[in-house]
Amino acid sequence: MKEITYREALREALREEMLRDENVFIAGEDVGIYGGAYAVTKGLYEEFGEERVKDTPISEAAIVGLGTGAALIGLRPVIEIMYIDFTTLAMDQIVNQAAKFHYMSGGNVKVPWVLRTQGGAGRSGAAQHSQSLESWFVHIPGLKVIAPSTPYDAKGLLKSAIRDDNPVIFVEHKMLYNKKGPVPEEEYTIPIGKGIIVKEGKDVTLVSYSKEIDEAMKAAYELQKEGIDVEVIDPRTLKPMDFELIFESVKKTSHLVIAEEDHYTLGVGAEISAKVSEEVIEYLDGPIIRVAALDVPIPAARKLEKRVIPDATRIMDGIRRSLE
């Protein structure tokens, strides 16, 4: 195993898949000469040339349409929308077009693209550059949604996403790009739709994903000192979600807390909570608690941003509430 960053892991995945399959190409704003707003595609333009690492106009609808049109006729585009906030500009192309084509055509056409984007707070990007909008896409039938939290998952899942025949929304987190972690030297992929137990525990199940996992782990280790044994689960894929893994854990711990960076109302946690209520409520010995971003736009000032985005302390409070 080598230690590399989340950014490097993503780049390795892109590079390996481009070498493996000449139909894979990258397109997005600033992905070429500049190397990507967060430097994920750095060096790929030099290696693969401008045809396969395409700088595009600032035209999100056309970027996604480009992906769809090219995917329809046999290529495997990896398109990049620089900030998840800007997917708003391409919603028709994502939601009405790409997500529905396979179904609407009765299975006649397929749209094998990956839409890479990044979200999340932590850099004072404020209300239009810090959102976590992944639940919008989870809501839409026909899309798969992935949100990895480690370099290992980022690489393995991006490779699977590129090989998948469906449109996949791949949500990175801007504060994870420098996160280091072990990644095997040899080739590997991670199946879409499979979560993992990041830390085993017996008292309470804590589900979290993307950057929020790091806060969840801090909370788990802090509570360990108080004798509370937290099981931390990272579903890694938000759609299809590995509900079985969560159900099994809840059956064991009888308590569920969800920590997420998206907004509280109708966020990913709301779906997990509803699903657990429907399927395994008889195992619960306390309320399901969602610890999520407060329902206000993400503010710029660090102090305000910190108030809105859940940290380990808020997660610990949530866990205590669930155990009361």
Partner 1 sequence: MNISNEELLKIYKTMVTIRIFEQTAEQNFLQGEIPGFIHLYIGEEAIGAGIISQLREDDFITSTHRGHGHMIAKGADLKKMMAELYGKETGYCKGKGGSMHIMNFDLGVLGANGVVAGGLPIAVGAGMAIKLKRGDQVVVSFFGDGATGRGAFHEALNWASVYGLPIIFVNENNQYASTAKYERVVPVKSIAERAKAYNMPGISVDGNDLFEVYKVAKEAITRARGGGGPTLIEAKTYRLKGHFVGDPEKYREKSEVEDWWQREPIKRVEKYMMENGILDKEKKKEIYERIKRDVNSAVKFARESSFPKKEDALSDLFVDDFKYDY
Q: Which residues bind partner 1 (CB under 8 A)?
A: 25, 27, 51-52, 54, 56-57, 59, 61-62, 64-75, 77, 89, 92-93, 96-97, 100-110, 112, 141-142, 144, 164-166, 193, 240, 243
Look at strands 180-183 and 2-5 and give their pairing.
antiparallel
Q: How far is the CB of 83 from partner 1 (least distance, A)?
A: 18
| Distance (Å) of CA 17 to CA 20, 121, 164, 174, 212 | 5, 29, 12, 23, 28
Residue 129 is among the residues annotated as catalytic for this protein:
yes
Q: How far is it, in rounded angstroms, from Cα 155 to Cα 151?
A: 6
Q: Which amino acid appears at position 314 of this protein?
A: R
Q: How far is the CB of 201 from partner 1 (least distance, A)?
A: 26
Q: Which is nearer to partner 1, 228 or 246 (CB)?
A: 246
Q: Which is nearer to partner 1, 151 or 269 (CB)?
A: 269
Q: Which is nearer to partner 1, 54 or 159 (CB)?
A: 54
Q: How far is the CB of 138 from partner 1 (least distance, A)?
A: 12
DSSP reduced 3-state for 210: coil
Q: How far is it, in rounded angstroms, from Cα 9 to Cα 7?
A: 5
Q: How far is the CB of 281 from partner 1 (least distance, A)?
A: 17
Among residues 14, 17, 16, which one has the least CA distance to residue 28? Answer: 14
CB 249 within 8 A of CB 284: no
Which residue among the candidates 12, 17, 60, 80 is catalytic per the annotation? 60
Q: How far is the CB of 107 from partner 1 (least distance, A)?
A: 4
Q: How far is the CB of 249 from partner 1 (least distance, A)?
A: 17
Q: Which amino acid appears at position 267 of this protein?
A: G
**SS3 sequence of 237-258:** EEECCCHHHHHHHHHHHCCEEE
Q: How far is the CB of 112 from partner 1 (least distance, A)?
A: 8
Which CB contacts under 8 angstroms, 24+ apart, belong to 48-55?
Answer: 48/18, 51/25, 52/18, 52/24, 52/25, 52/26, 53/25, 53/26, 53/27, 54/25, 54/26, 54/27, 54/28, 55/28, 55/29, 55/30, 55/31
Q: Which amino acid appears at position 84 of this protein?
A: I
Q: Which is nearer to partner 1, 184 or 191 (CB)?
A: 191
Which residue among the candidates 102, 129, 255, 263 is catalytic per the annotation? 129
Q: Which is nearer to partner 1, 115 or 316 (CB)?
A: 115
Q: Which is nearer to partner 1, 29 or 305 (CB)?
A: 29
Residue 102 is among the residues annotated as catalytic for this protein:
no
Sheet holding 144-146, edge to edge: 53-55, 24-28, 76-81, 114-119, 168-173, 144-146, 237-239
Q: Which is nearer to partner 1, 55 or 311 (CB)?
A: 55
The secondary structure of residue 195, as a DSSP letter, is -
Among residues 25, 118, 21, which one has the least CA distance to residue 69? Answer: 25
Q: Which residues are catalytic?
A: 60, 129
